[in-house]
Amino acid sequence: MHVADVADRVARGELTAEAACARSLEAIAAKDGALHAFLHVARDEALAAARAVDDRRRRGEPLGPLAGVPVAIKDAICTEGLPTTAASKILRGYVPPYDATAVARLRAADAIVVGKTNLDEFAMGSSTENSAYGVTRNPWDPSRTPGGSSGGSAVAVAAGMAPCALGSDTGGSIRQPASLTGTVGLKPTYGRVSRYGLIAFASSLDQIGPFASDVRGAARVLSVLAGRDPRDATSLDAAVPDLEAACGREVRGLRVGVPDEYFAEGLAPEVGESVRAALRALEERGCVLRPVRLPHTSYAVATYYVLATAEASSNLARYDGVRYGLRVDPRLDLRAMIGATRDAGFGAEVKRRILLGTFVLSSGYYDAYYLKAQKVRTLLRRDFDDVFREVDVVCSPVSPTPAFKFGEKLADPIAMYLSDVYTLPASLAGLPAMSVPCAPTRAGLPVGLHVVARPLEEATMLSVAAACEAAFPCASPL
């Protein structure tokens, strides 16, 4: 059942929230031993919250738009009273004293938090292999990764363990795993959704967004999440239109930009075929395809890895073994305690990024790397400014390949970084972007269509995604 089906049936009294929640918990019990999407299942809390929703319905009180909808939360997002680790040893056992605003809004809309999902440590990775607590398997082929970093949330939805989930996307961490697992994954405009309570990776890029089993579900969750939050100075004070209505809107006449640079070397032929078939389906529904140029695309990976690691090196300075989390204290002085704690608590990829980020910010290298990358970020934004004068959305592949095997890219950091080549530019430009399933490969692996829109134009993006979904209806694999 999709998000809207659950909520609307609960609202009408045809389904209890408790039954919807129990169904989700049973699916987790049956499937998650093999898939490992969850780091923590909040069984008792979820059932109690579901019963409270049912009680309120019996008393005739109005219910929220996500009444009784089970939701899985990426473990980089704080949940009051539930462990939140960012899949890092340095936060093992940490239990936040507050909810992230996104979680508080879900609860206020009567959604039921069923558990916390696996990720690459601190969201640094593209395969969920960098978790300190084990890998997550792709339900379409368990020898393959689900992508990342929000791999656990993607798999929770793909395997039918929850109809929706929260992820976070810094360079593609919602869209790439959505593409690799056949789910809908949406990164809102930077600032659309509050980051309060999201464990920070790169603050100028991080954005919370939904996964869902259908486009309308993603739209409904986003309408709950979106809006200004005084606790996040970067959240935008902008009206949120009716996003669910946008999912049923005609796409006739919309201009779809197709960037040459996203169909170049490195794109797996089967992915290219699926995406071209999706573009033809949009054309059949009245969209006008236009070739466009985004000439700085090939610089996005380098730009991103300078800026994101610089911001990460600063954000992760807070893990010092003093206020929360791990402390390794061999009776040394303060500096040695902090160094030993961080050495023991962070995994290899996190250390690599902290060091790269510290390096590009350090005296003598700041201008050549950090300032340079900030300027190239401006060029990447201008590419989109130019293109969006001609078209309404930009469509492309999400990921150059379908789901890859465990270990395939771990040995080569740059090969792993390049798997985000199509998602990074929209992140650097702060644009809304999403993945919607199109035709799978011949081997049956999912492929996503990437739809990018102008700032705050999630509605247009959702209309196009819904049109693609109608052309390629896709079923849950398990």
Residues classed as catalytic: 74, 149, 173
| Nearer of residues 48 and 365 to other proteins, judged by Cβ | 365
Residue 36: what are its φ and ψ, rounded to 5°? Answer: 55, 50
d(CA 299, CA 146): 26
The backbone region for 260, taken as left when phi is positive above 0, alpha when psi lies in -120 to 50, beta otherwise, is alpha
| Rounded Cα gap, residues 209 and 222, in angstroms | 7
Q: Shortest gap between Cβ of 46 and other proteins (angstroms)?
A: 23
Name the strand (E) or helix (H) holding 52. Answer: helix 43-58
Measured distance CA(265)–CA(99) in Å, rounded:
44
CA distance 15 to 9: 5
How is the beta sheet containing 288-292 ordered, strand by strand? Answer: 38-41, 112-117, 70-74, 164-169, 207-212, 184-187, 433-437, 448-453, 393-397, 255-259, 288-292
**Smallest distance from other proteins to CB 224, Å:** 22
Q: Which is nearer to other proteins, 234 or 476 (CB)?
A: 234
Work out how close the CB of 378 gets to other proteins at its nearest, in angstroms, rounded to a whole number. Answer: 5
- State which residue, 48 or 368, has the beta carbon closest to other proteins: 368
In the complex, what is the shortest distance from the CB of residue 429 to other proteins, in angstroms, rounded to a whole number? 7
Query: Cα(17)–Cα(49) distance, rounded to whole angstroms?
Result: 9
Shortest Å distance, C-beta 330 to other proteins: 10
> What phi and psi values does residue 170 have, to the nearest 5 degrees?
-105, -40
State the minimum distance, in angstroms, from the CB of residue 258 to other proteins: 24
CB 110 within 8 A of CB 55: no
Are the CB atoms for 349 and 375 separated by under 8 Å?
Answer: no
Closest approach of other proteins to the CB of residue 332, in Å: 6
What is the pairing mode between strands 255-259 and 184-187? unpaired
The H helix count followed by the E strand count for the chain is 16, 11
The first and second tokens of residue 302, run together, are: 């380098």
Residue number with CB closer to other proteins (321 or 397): 321
Q: Closer to other proteins at the Cβ: 48 or 322?
A: 322
The residue among 80 and 141 lying less far from other proteins, judged by its C-beta, is 80
* Residue (133 or 369) nearer to other proteins, CB: 369
Q: What's the one-letter identity of residue 201? A: F
* Other Cβ atoms closer than 10 A to 136: 34
Helix, strand, or coil (residue 102): helix
Beta strand pairing call for 448-453 and 393-397: antiparallel
Distance CA 63, CA 69 (A): 12
Cβ closer to other proteins: 75 or 244?
Answer: 75
Residue 409: CB minimum distance to other proteins, A: 14
